[in-house]
């Protein structure tokens, strides 16, 4: 009986040590600009690489400039973020990818973005409230002054995933496009590909 109790006591000690060990895992802050290769799945470096290339191309592509000159006398395009599809087998927050690209485009000063469709009702509610008489009329915003988008900004992420003998090669492709709402014409399109390998 004593031996059993002793054995139980030892097992309990090991279990507690194991739990304490888990709790004591070292956590460090890492450079968010560094290349991340913890797994071969879609990661933060892939988002940064895709966003950078798309932002650079959209900021300087002559096709966008030509469309701007022809349809808006050189004025900046007003863009509406539209459908973004994740056609890979992974769970990827495509909104996050597109937000990174939109941030860069707005901050470059080359594009204007209309508010997201999901925000429109909130904006209308606020204008309605402002027109209720509760807000100083000089500061109240009126209906009929919202921007009208020139182009849809949409895209999709696809992947080809191959595995053999524990090795894996995964090829991601992000395709983005700008489509004229009035002309139903694709104004600009670009692809960014990334290939990763797990040896």
Partner 1 sequence: MTTAAGCSTSAANVANVDTESGQSDVLIGDEDLYDDLKIQDIKTRNAETSGFLEVQATLVNLDDDTIRFEYEFEWFDESGFELQSHTEHWNPKIIYGHQRLPIKGTAPDGRAKSFKLAVRRPQEVK
**Given candidates 21, 23, 109, 148, which one binds partner 1 under the rule CB under 8 A?**
109
d(CA 142, CA 66): 33
Q: CA angle, 60 as apex, 55 and 63 as ends, to 5°?
A: 110
CB neighbours (10 Å) of residue 77? 24
Smallest gap from residue 196 Cβ to partner 1 (A):
10
Q: Which lies closer to partner 1 via its Cβ, residue 36 or residue 131?
A: 36
Closest CA to 99 of 56, 51, 60: 51
Return the residues of window 63-102 that contact partner 1 according to CB under 8 A. 64-65, 100
Considering the complex, state which of residue 101 and residue 127 has its C-beta at the smaller distance from partner 1. Answer: 101
Number of residues that bind partner 1 (CB under 8 A): 29
Query: Which part of the chain contacts partner 1 (CB under 8 A), choosing from 13-21, 106-114, 125-133, 181-189?
Result: 106-114
Which of 40, 41, 52, 191 is the binder for partner 1 (CB under 8 A)?
52
Instruction: Assess contact for 174 and 155: CB atoms under 8 A.
Output: yes
38 binding partner 1? (CB under 8 A)? yes
Q: How many residues does the chain have?
A: 199
Which of 21, 25, 27, 33: binder of partner 1 (CB under 8 A)? 33
C-alpha–C-alpha distance, residues 184 and 95, integer Å:
24
In whole angstroms, the minimum distance from the beta carbon of 104 to partner 1 comes to 6
Nearer to partner 1, 102 or 159 (CB): 102
Which of residues 26, 30, 138, 139 is near partner 1 by CB under 8 A?
30
For residue 64, the minimal CB distance to partner 1 (Å) is: 8
Distance in Å, CB of 107 to partner 1, minimum: 6
Indicate the Cα dihedral angle 45, 62, 86, 115, nearest 10°.
Answer: 100
Contact 157, 174 (CB under 8 A): yes
The distance in angstroms from the start CA to the end CA of the chain is 53
In terms of C-beta density within 10 A (0-12 exposed, 13-18 middle, 19 or more buried), how is residue 17 classed?
exposed
Which residues sit at the interface with partner 1, rule CB under 8 A?
30-38, 45, 48-49, 51-52, 55-56, 59-62, 64-65, 100, 103-104, 107-110
């Amino acid at each position: 009986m004593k031996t059993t109790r002793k054995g139980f006591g030892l097992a309990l000690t090991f279990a507690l040590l194991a739990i304490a060990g888990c709790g004591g895992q070292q956590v460090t802050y890492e450079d968010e600009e560094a290349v991340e290769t913890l797994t071969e799945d879609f990661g933060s470096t892939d988002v940064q690489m895709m966003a950078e290339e798309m932002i650079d191309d959209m900021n300087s592509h002559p096709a966008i400039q030509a469309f701007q000159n022809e349809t808006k006398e050189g004025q900046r395009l007003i863009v509406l973020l539209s459908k973004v599809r994740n056609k890979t087998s992974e769970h990827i927050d495509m909104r996050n990818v597109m937000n990174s690209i939109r941030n860069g485009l707005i901050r470059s000063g080359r594009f204007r973005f209309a508010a997201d469709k999901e925000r429109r009702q909130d904006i209308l509610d606020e204008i309605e409230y402002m027109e209720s008489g509760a807000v100083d009329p000089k500061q109240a915003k009126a209906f009929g002054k919202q921007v009208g988008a020139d182009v849809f900004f949409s895209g999709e992420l696809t992947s080809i995933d191959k595995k053999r003998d524990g090795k894996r090669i995964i090829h991601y492709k992000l395709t983005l496009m700008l489509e004229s709402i009035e002309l139903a014409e694709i104004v600009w399109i670009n692809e960014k590909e990334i290939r990763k390998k797990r040896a």
